[in-house]
A and B are shown apart, each in its own frame.
Chain A
Amino acid sequence: MALLIDVASGVLIAAGCFFILVGAFGLVRMPDVYTRAHGTSIIDTVGAGFLLMGLMLQAGWSLVTLKLLFVLAISFFTLPVVAHALAQAALHENITPKLAEDRRTRALGKDAPTGTGDESGKA
């Protein structure tokens, strides 16, 4: 049983490390700031998720598991805030994203295409 838990947590930690490395690699490889943000979102979601789940299996039922859960929750709640603020600030500074296709002007339901969508309110 202890061996089974060790193997399971080892697999989870290895998966987490794999996704963290992939995310960091994407951060270096992607061409512009918006696409780089997608790379980091891998680190904060699946990378941190799998790694912390592996650590939780090692910790067993204790307060340490609960604290790891809090760390995971904080990372899940702060990532969208930071990513959104970053992308909005970059768009506000007129850093144009390299786009294959711009579908921002497509008609939305009943209303006609009006603005370009750049004018985003304070979230």
Chain B
Amino acid sequence: MRTISLAIFLFAFWLALSGHYTFALVGAGLLSAVLCALAARHMLVVDPEGHPFQLLKGMVTYLPWLAWEIVKSAWAVTRIILHPGLPISPTMTRVQASQRSAAGIATYGNSITLTPGTLTVGLTNSELVVHALTRDGALDLESGRMDRRVSKFEGTL
């Protein structure tokens, strides 16, 4: 089931990138998509972690929220960079990730890094070490607002 879905996704990717729709090229694309899906299945990487199409549903609402967070904090960092006094107060902190699965924790860490002003440095079990550009950014992260949102995203799996 998951192998068929992977083959369909790969074939759609081929069609999007190629742009030429002759019989030979589309046939070659179909053949290589199926062969790749079978090879991936043989390597036992076609599992919920290797081909996570169940994430798509939660992505629809999570990505716009993340984009808005990124724009907000990017504007804050822009003001700091352009400020003549460079008012930074670098802070390192630890936060607890409340997600259950490895994919959830990875999503949380990557979301932290994608947001300008905060940067995931290390990870032990479910504790993230975070470098923040300002003290306010670190405190905002410690309040667990993003952690709860990512847990909600994980709950839609």
Contacts and interface: CB of A to CB of B under 8 A. Distances in A.
Interface string B114-136: 11110111111101010101010
B92 A45 contact: no
Contacts of B125: 121
If over half of A's interface residues share one DSSP class (helix, strand or loop), that class is named, otherwise mixed; here it is helix
Size category of the binding interface on chain B: 35 or more
B114 A76 contact: yes
A41 B114 contact: yes
B16 A67 contact: yes
Contacts of B16: 63, 66-67, 70
Interface string B34-55: 0000000000000000000000
A49 to B, nearest CB: 8
Interface stretch (B23-31, B70-78, B147-155): B70-78
B122 A120 contact: yes
Interface in A24-55: 25-26, 29-32, 34-35, 37-39, 41-42, 45-46, 49
Size category of the binding interface on chain A: 35 or more
17 contacts: A22-B82, A25-B82, A41-B116, A42-B116, A45-B116, A80-B113, A83-B119, A83-B120, A84-B119, A84-B120, A91-B121, A99-B92, A100-B89, A101-B89, A109-B96, A118-B129, A120-B122
Interface of A: 19, 22-23, 25-26, 29-32, 34-35, 37-39, 41-42, 45-46, 49, 63, 66-67, 70, 76, 79-81, 83-84, 87-88, 91, 97-104, 106, 108-109, 115, 117-121, 123
